[in-house]
Amino acid sequence: MDSQADQDIAIVGGGPAGLAAAEVLGQAGHAVTVYDQMPSVGRKLLIAGRGGLNLTHSEPLPAFLARYHPDGSLAEAIRAFPPEALRAWCEGLGEPTFVGSSGRVFPRSFKASPLLRAWLARLGRHGVAVRTRHRLTELPEGGLAFSTPDGPLTVRPRAVLLALGGASWPRLGSDGAWVPLLEQAGVPVSGLRPANAGFAVAWSELFRERFAGAPLKRVALSAGGATVRGEALITRDGIEGGAVYALSRSLREAIGAESEARLVLDLRPDLAQSDIALRLGAGRGGQSTATRLRKAAGLSPVAAGLLREAARGPLPQGAPELAALIKAAPLRLHAVQPIARAISSAGGVAASGLDDRFMLRARPGTFVAGEMLDWEAPTGGYLLQGAFASGRAAAAGMLAWLEAS
């Protein structure tokens, strides 16, 4: 196996966490090399920007930190690099930000590519080298082994930062292949699980054929004692979307404990049940149930169809009973979608395996950041904020360790 001379710092993983760490370390004067198995870095960031790059969220910090699980996950890292700092960093790269109506924060360009180009240019000015098509294959003592287009390569840096992501985007490089490597090194790893994922529902064939791909707008979803307003999307084999993702942890845990979960949908959260009952009663006459649901209750075709799926039989004809079902339509979820279809993943390197500098206790000089760590958060800017903040915090921990070494 070919060997490369001793290096200063190696970062494995060219996503937001790895690049954020590279920036801090490069600014501090260290020679940094970023290794990534894909043909280019920042691919998940670019995918995140397809619908408008949601960088972070503007809600007050206590509420913001409460979005992370387990409780306290990344709290110190985010306090050190809070949403305001991320916005300032973005603007420093020539990409001003704005707060949307939902409180989410976006670049004004709404795109990730200009931000990534400016960021990589800055890293280049700091002397950060990028090596693509380098896949980590082993963690030999005191080094890193890669497979590369030119054959195997071993490097022996002074310090290492691992930022290899979770397992929710295997086609972009986040495939979880690092788990056995760290477990063999004695690092405790909590199993990777889908987060911000969709769920399987046993739709009738008629509903599936008619409504797969249809959005459910302006609904409220409840599970595990929490209620979320937003939108969802009907898929051929289940339901997904922002409101579902916000409840995915409790739904996933319920399925793990009881083999199914109960998701309750309020199809008209803007109306009280009594008001819906009055409208249904007044509009009854000789109208069909479908017409009453559309005209009196104001349900879209997909919402009316879902109501029938939830009833698991004929719909109640009485206005009070029908109104009650509209306000609390139950769905049985029998499986979480595979991790490769999830937005993010839960699990990762356990907190017990790290010191307060994000360094592995089992491997001094090796630090971990980003989605490799055991934390999860909903969509809405929390995922990127966690990646940026943990990358910078791990870099700061590395600088402290190097200084003391």
Q: What is the pLDDT of residues 218-269, one digit of tens each?
A: 999 999 999 999 999 999 999 999 999 999 999 999 999 999 999 999 999 9
d(CA 72, CA 58): 19
Q: Which one is predicted more confidently, 122 or 171?
A: 122
d(CA 385, CA 54): 10
**Mean pLDDT, rounded, for 287-293:** 86
Confidence band for 289, pLDDT divided at 50, 70 and 90: confident
Predicted confidence (pLDDT) at residue 405 exceeds the cutoff of 90: no
- The pLDDT value recorded for residue 283 is 60
- The pLDDT value recorded for residue 393 is 98
The answer to whether 114 and 95 are in contact (CB under 8 A) is yes
- The pLDDT value recorded for residue 7 is 73
For the 2-194+345-404 domain, the top CATH level (class) is alpha beta
d(CA 306, CA 265): 10
Write down how long the chain is: 405
Tell me the whole-structure pTM to 2 decimals: 0.92
- The pLDDT value recorded for residue 285 is 63
Q: Express each pLDDT in 169-212 by its tens digit.
A: 899 889 999 999 999 999 999 999 999 999 999 999 999 999 99
Q: Where are the domains of the chain?
A: 2-194+345-404, 199-336
Q: Express each pLDDT in 304-348 by its tens digit.
A: 999 999 998 899 989 999 999 999 999 999 999 999 999 999 999
Q: Which one is predicted more confidently, 8 or 5?
A: 8
Q: Express each pLDDT in 8-48 by its tens digit.
A: 999 999 999 999 999 999 999 999 999 999 999 999 899 88
**Mean pLDDT, rounded, for 267-281:** 95
- The pLDDT value recorded for residue 190 is 96
The answer to whether 333 and 245 are in contact (CB under 8 A) is no
Residue 140's CB: how many other CB atoms inside 10 A? 12
Predicted confidence (pLDDT) at residue 2 exceeds the cutoff of 60: no
74 closest CA partner among 343, 349, 341: 349
Q: Express each pLDDT in 82-103 by its tens digit.
A: 999 999 999 999 999 999 989 9
DSSP string for 73-88 = TTHHHHHHS-HHHHHH
Mean pLDDT of the chain: 94
Q: Which two tokens stand for residue 58?
A: 């503007």
Q: Looking at the DSSP assignment, which residues form a beta bridge with residue 194?
A: 345
Predicted confidence (pLDDT) at residue 398 exceeds the cutoff of 90: yes
**Segment 133-137 long-range contacts (CB within 8 Å, at least 24 positions apart):** 133/36, 133/37, 133/38, 133/39, 134/35, 134/36, 134/37, 135/37, 136/12, 136/35, 136/37, 136/164, 136/177, 136/178, 136/181
For 184-234, the three-class secondary structure string (H helix, E strand, C coil) is HCCCCEEEEEEECCCEECCCCHHHHHHHCCCEEEEEEEEECCEEEEEEEEE
